[in-house]
Structure 1
Amino acid sequence: MVLASPTELTMSARRSAQPLEPRHLKPFGVGDVRVLLLENVNQTAVEILRKAGYQVEFHTKALPEDVLIEKIKSVHIVGIRSKTKLTRQVLQHADKLLTIGCFCIGTNQVDLDFAAERGISVFNSPFSNSRSVAEMTISNVIALARQLGDRNREMHEGNWFKVSANCYEVRGKTLGIVGYGHIGSQLSVMAESLGMRVLFYDVLQLMPLGSSSPTESLDDLLRRSDFVTLHVPETSDTKDMIGRRELALMKPQSYLINASRGTVVDIPALAEALRASKLAGCAIDVYPSEPLANGKYFESPLIGCPNTILSPHIGGSTEEAQSMIGIEVASALTRFINVGTTLNAVNYPQVDLRAIPAAKESIFRLVNVHRNVPGVLRQINNILAPFNVEKQVCDNKGNISYFMADISIGSVEDIQTIYDHISSIEENVITRVLY
């Protein structure tokens, strides 16, 4: 397999070849595709990318910015988790970079807009850790009901306090789930298997699973639930969605669990409610500001609050979840490089085409990213007018448009002509030719 300019490929090699490297770089073979994986990305990703024939450089930790800038100049794929910051300053040095894989849920560590402007797609894994988060939430429900966090701390301090006051079974209690997506719906099923009643609130109309019931409002859920657990994204609407007012609506001696995003809960207000015994306890896994490295860096008003379980953002930190994340993101990266699909990209339009039939050796695939302004698609179609376009699709996201087309051509020279003309369009960001 090779990555090459159109004039260096024969038509007979079309089916086994790989895409043209953009930004007018010299042709290179698929074995020269370079991947930089940082922060101990799961080995499932390493195996998938190496199996694709790529050169993989693997690091267990994040790199200093100056080292990262130097290395990113020569790679086509970068894989990170949450500590590496791919800022504008870093990405402006990424002359060969085609795509970024965030092997985690969030993408706040990447300048998504600038990456799109440079023709760099970004993929993440928003759902692969759903089961792990749901299981930890259930464990927190039981631990809070039995005050296990306090008893564990006391035992480590050498104190034996065997008590049953204010310790409960969860059977028969009401669990209120805020956000009934991949995590919330799985949690719903688990909770019912424990004999809990389940209420949920979501901004979307979703089908209840089992015997769970939707509530008309968040306020209604807060008033009726013994346990409230949050599973919502970070948006302007969810920022401080649980503040003093909402905490006051909750049942006296109820419990709050947050394994979603740190900005969803007003932490000082929550600490006040716990210390005043307005709530019976809480379990928090995410925080408005989190340390960038392991060590003695954590500070919070919640430290020392009664029946309060604090964990260092580990809801999705299981071997199973990390393995699934590695598979999902690495597969998305190889599909983007090899066939151009942007399904599940966070900063690109969602575009895909069915595979090119193997029997049609005269067909090549054109992939183009351009600025989303009027008239560009007309220019592209005028260039393609002399040829038979088997299929094409174009979609927009913000300032970026993504175009894919499978085109029948008569000679390799035709491919070069199409590539040169589309690359010369003023609004062109990046053009690739896939065979």
Structure 2
Amino acid sequence: MQKPKVLKPFNRTEIKVLLLEDVNQTAIDAFQEQGYQVETFTKTFVGQELIDKVRDVQILGIRSKTKVTEEVLNEAKDLLAIGCFCIATEQVDLKAAATRGIAVYNSPFKNSHSVAELVIGEVISLARQLGDRNREMHKGIWNKVSKGCFEIRGKILGIVGYGHVGSQLSVLAEALGMRVYFYDLLQLMPLGSARQLDTLEELLAVSDFVTLHVPEQDDTKGMIGVREISLMKPGSFVINNGRGSTIQLQALVDGLRSGHLAGAALDVYPKQPTSNGPHFTDYPDLLDCPNVILTPHVAGATEEAQENIGLEVSSSLIQFVNDGISLGAVNFPQVGLRAIREDDAHTARVLHVHQNIPGVLRELNKIFTGLNVERQYSNSKGAVAYVMADVANVSAVELQALYDAISATSANIRTRIMH
């Protein structure tokens, strides 16, 4: 039988942080300012090596390559939170993390402008066949041509998904003289002179450039296939800086080889390498197509975006670890009370993650009987619920008894008492 945990005052210097994949220095600085112990690596870890690294850390910071599976989480007994310093969270088993009391954070919007700028660069590069001319020049070939090269002024940009990236892109494109149409499942307020169309088919039929900015979900996987490409204007272009599963690549290759499509730009792929190096060989047919720009998932990879992401995600992680506030977590109930002030020296914060089943709050409030509960807030998400309560004027002996009683409840997942 495992010994009951002896309750100790919260000590920031005992918090261990593991940051992988070259997380930005802004995050490192933020954690170190809190007094946390920070270990950083520019690479990712896999399998047993990753398990060994996360065994005794409270915070894990990753980007898109590290795969945090249920197997990894089973061994990460001390892990409180995971920060995905990017948009994507599919590299983490979100359900398994939640059911172990581990909150997961990301940064869904901070790189939006960087992505939008790259799309504009790709639109111009495709219209002028710059990728092909650059490759030819590196081979010593002087091929000065104008056939098939166009200005983008007056051309139609079709945006699939008018969220943070799509809407910013809309403004940039109009500033360059493009006409903008967009398709989105939601009815949205257009920016500038952009116009929303009712169907994807209508958008494909009128656009000179189609750019995809949709999340990965069942109805977006393979949404651009043979049929959709056949509906596009002859000589049009397709750009994907969103999710790699959105385009059926063989259909894209066929459209490029037939000449129906004049070019394409891809920054994401259905299967991506987990590390850098010369092994991007899964799509040989695509590599041989003309006027195709291929980049290694760098749409949001600017100094500005990474600095902003580092600040946002580290702030969320610090708030969760120091104060239990889970606002912004993608897999976790949203709970927030103001941080306990320094003059509240006799107030302790109870953080109770539990199974979302009937009767837990009633049982918890029985345990609180006789104590001065100043504030209490609870919320649930799926199979997991979270309670935060501030208890005033409580002794160390009472705190230990409170911790032991809550931890012993049948629905308990994780209990922390901060004092």
Q: How does 1:109-148 map to 2 (within 5 A)?
A: 109-148=91-130
Match of 1:392 among 362, 376, 386: 376
Give 1:360 deviation, angstroms.
4.2
- Look up the match of 1:24: 5
Matched, 1:354 2:338: yes
1:405 is aligned to 2:386 = no
Please give the root-mean-square deviation of Cα atoms over the aligned residues, in Å. Answer: 1.8
For 1:258 and 1:55, how far apart are their aligned partners in 2? 39
Shift of residue 81 of structure 1? 1.6
Bigger Cα displacement from structure 2, 386-395 vs 396-405: 386-395
SS of residue matched to 1:395 = strand
Instruction: Give the conservation status (yes or no) of the 8 Å contact 1:419–1:433.
Output: yes
In the superposition, the TM-score normalised over structure 1's length comes to: 0.91
8 Å CA contact retained: 2:20, 2:41 = yes
Q: What percentage of aligned pairs have identical amino acids?
A: 56
Query: Which deviates further from its counterpart, 35-44 or 409-418?
Result: 409-418
5 Å-filtered alignment, 1:365-384, equals 365-384=349-368
Give, in whole Å, the separation in 2 of the partners of 1:237 and 1:24: 47
Query: Are 2:132 and 1:159 aligned?
Result: no
Give, as a single letter, the amino acid of the residue that structure 2 aligns with 1:53: G
1:173-212 correspondence to structure 2 within 5 Å = 173-212=155-194
Q: Is the 8 A contact 2:43 2:275 kept in 1?
A: no
Aligned to 1:332: 316
SS of aligned partner of 1:302: helix
> Structure 1 counterpart of 2:404, which letter?
D
* Structure 1 SS opposite 2:26: helix
Which residue of 292, 306, 321 maps to 2:290?
Answer: 306
- List gaps (5 residues or longer) in structure 1: 1-22
More divergent stretch after superposition (397-406 vs 170-179): 397-406
What is the letter of the counterpart of residue 27 of structure 2?
A
Q: Which amino acid aligns with 1:65?
A: G
Which residue identity lines up with residue 24 of structure 1 in the other structure? K
Matches within 5 A, 1:188-337: 188-298=170-280, 299-300=282-283, 301-337=285-321
> Aligned match of 1:97 in 76, 79, 88?
79
Report the secondary structure of 1:31's partner residue: helix
Q: Find the residue that maps to 2:42 and give its secondary structure.
A: coil
Q: In structure 2, give the amino acid aligned to 1:221.
A: L
- Per the TM alignment, residue 162 of structure 1 is displaced from its structure 2 partner at its CA by 0.8
* 3-state SS in 2 of match to 1:262: coil
Measure how far apart 1:71 and its partner are. Answer: 2.6
How do 1:7-86 residues align onto structure 2 when only pairs under 5 Å count?
24=5, 27=8, 29-86=11-68
Other structure's SS at 1:414 match: helix
Deviations 1:82-124 (A, max 9, x none): 2222222222111211111111221222222222122111111
**In 2, distance between residues paired with 1:198 and 1:174?**
6
Distance in 2 between residues matched to 1:224 and 1:310, nearest whole Å: 25
Task: Give the SS at the match of 1:109.
Answer: coil
Q: What does residue 88 of structure 1 align with?
A: 70
- Ranked by relative contact order (alpha carbons within 8 Å, sequence separation 6 or more), the top structure is 1
Change (3 A) 1:120 1:290: same
For the Cα contact (< 8 Å) 1:219–1:249, is it kept in 2? yes
Q: 2: distance between equivalents of 1:248 and 1:233?
A: 23
* Count of residue correspondences: 414
